[in-house]
Structure formats: structure tokens, C-alpha cells
Amino acid sequence: MIKQKLKFFITPEVYKYLVAHSVHEPHILWELRQATQKLRGKSMILTPEQGQFFKLLCGLLGPKRILEVGTYTGYGALCFALNSDEDAHIDTIDINPQWHEHALPFWQKAGMESKITQHHGDATDVLNTLNKEVYDLIFVDANKEETATHYELAYALCKPGGLIILDNTLMWGEVVDPNISKKMIRKLRLFNKQIHEDTRVDISILPFSDGMTLARKKT
């Protein structure tokens, strides 16, 4: 590894500045975020800067088939729907059917419900039923203990040249804290090591939110 003097400057103030100077959250996504604040698990929703990043990615990649693992209240699915071509389609999976009841009115209000298919069930089970090598973009964001399993299944479903995004891979820095030994973090550490050594993909870890790994399946 090259030794290089690094300067760390992302303080909470800089982060706020970054968000204020990059994010344009559409009103419907803002409304969905507000409604989610009243719900259990409200911190699970994507951040506006992640949504902004997905918009950029959709513009760059023009994905036609998108898969999301972990829907929650439908923010990510709606981001993908709003920012992809009219003939694009989003499949999204969640184990808890209750979240779909919260997501659907917002997908309908945005006129996007026909672009999104909600799959109910355990992600591993559902992923095993989907067609291989059809997805251009896959976002893995369900239970973190299963990230490695979901990644492997996502890899099989992703087209060569397609992109897999894995959320929460730095888990607010807990992956480097030697005092933290809970199972989820141990599994994430192992996953981060494995994907770094995975020669089937080119990767990059982005340090915003609590870490997002981008993995492009090689052609």
C-alpha cells in the first residue's frame, strides 16, 4: 500500500454542506421521507444524498431492469422509477408486507406504480426464483447478516457489465472498531474482505451515508 498523508475533513458541518450543495430531493420523495419519520425503523430509509446518487447513476447507465433487495417504505424503488426510462422496470423484495402498504400510495401519487413490482418474502428465497443475468443494476439493502448471500445471488442475476450496489458496508465505522464483535459486524468485515478479493468484479467503496460498495460485474 502506498503511504500517503491523508487529511480527514468530513465533519458533520462539511457533511451538511455537501448535502446542501448537491441534493435536490423531489417533493414526492421528501413527502415519503416525512411520512416514514412516524414509523418504526425510520432510520432504515435511504438518505437524500443516496437518492441523488442513484439519479446520477440512472442517467449514466440507463438501466432497464433494476432489482432492489430490501424495500422498506419504497424510497429507493421510487428513486429508481423516477429516474429511469419509461420502459424500465424495478423489482423490489421485502420480507415484511406491511411496508408495501406505506410505499404504494407514494408510488401511485408519483404515477410510478406500474414500473415497480413488489415481491414479498425472504430475499434469498425470492432471489432464487428470478431469472439469471437480466438485471442492469441491483441494490442490496436487506438484513446485513445476509449481505454475502444476497451478493452471491445478485451476482448471478446481474448482466455482465452490470452494477451491484451494497449498502451499509462500513456500518458507521463499526467495521474498524476492535471493541465491536457482534455477529453482523463480523460478517460484514468478512464480506468486505471477500469482495475485495473477488476477481469477478471491479469495486469501489463510497464513504457516504454509512458506506456503499459498488461492484461492476466484469464482462
Ligand X SMILES: C[S@@+](CC[C@H](N)C(=O)[O-])C[C@H]1O[C@@H](n2cnc3c(N)ncnc32)[C@H](O)[C@@H]1O
**In this structure, are residues 91 and 154 in contact, taking their beta carbons and an 8 Å threshold?**
no
Q: 117 and 94 in contact (C-beta within 8 Å)?
A: no
Query: For ligand X, which stretch binds (CB under 6 A), given 12-20, 91-99, 189-197, 209-217?
Result: 91-99
Q: What are the C-alpha distances in Å from 126 to residues 137, 166, 201?
A: 17, 18, 23
Give the residue nearest to ligand X (CB): 76
Contact between 106 and ligand X (CB under 6 A)?
A: no
Q: Which of 14, 18, 42, 96 binds ligand X (CB under 6 A)?
A: 96
Which residues make Cβ contacts (< 8 Å) with residue 91, sequence separation at least 6? 65, 66, 67, 68, 116, 117, 119, 130
Amino acid at 219: T
**Which residue lies nearer to ligand X by CB, 72 or 107?**
72
Q: Which is nearer to ligand X, 42 or 200 (CB)?
A: 42
Q: Considering the rule CB under 6 A, would residue 93 count as an interface residue with ligand X?
A: yes
Binding ligand X (rule: CB under 6 A), the pick from 25, 29, 33, 45 is: 45
Between 47 and 216, CB nearer to ligand X: 47
Closest to ligand X by CB, 119 vs 217, is 119
Specify whether the CB–CB gap between 200 and 186 falls below 8 A.
Answer: no
- Contact status: 82 vs ligand X (CB under 6 A): no
Q: Which amino acid is at 21?
A: H
164 touches ligand X by CB under 6 A: no
Q: Which three cell numbers stand for residue 103?
A: 410505499
Residues 50-79 contacting ligand X, CB under 6 A: 68, 70-72, 75-76
Q: Is 165 in the site for ligand X (CB under 6 A)?
A: no
Q: Within its chain, how far is the Cα of 210 from the centroid?
A: 11
Residue 48 or 70 with smaller CB distance to ligand X: 70
If the CB atoms of residues 11 and 43 are measured against ligand X, the closer one turns out to be 43
Q: With respect to ligand X, which residue has the nearer C-beta, 80 or 155? A: 80
11 by Cβ neighbours in 10 Å (0-12 / 13-18 / 19+) ranks as exposed
- Quote helix, strand, coil % in the chain, to nearest 5: 45, 20, 35
Q: Smallest gap, in angstroms, from Cβ of residue 183 to ligand X?
A: 14
* Alpha carbons 4 and 23: distance in angstroms, whole number: 31
143 binds ligand X per the rule CB under 6 A:
yes
Q: Which residues bind ligand X (CB under 6 A)?
A: 44-46, 68, 70-72, 75-76, 93-96, 99, 122-123, 141-143, 146
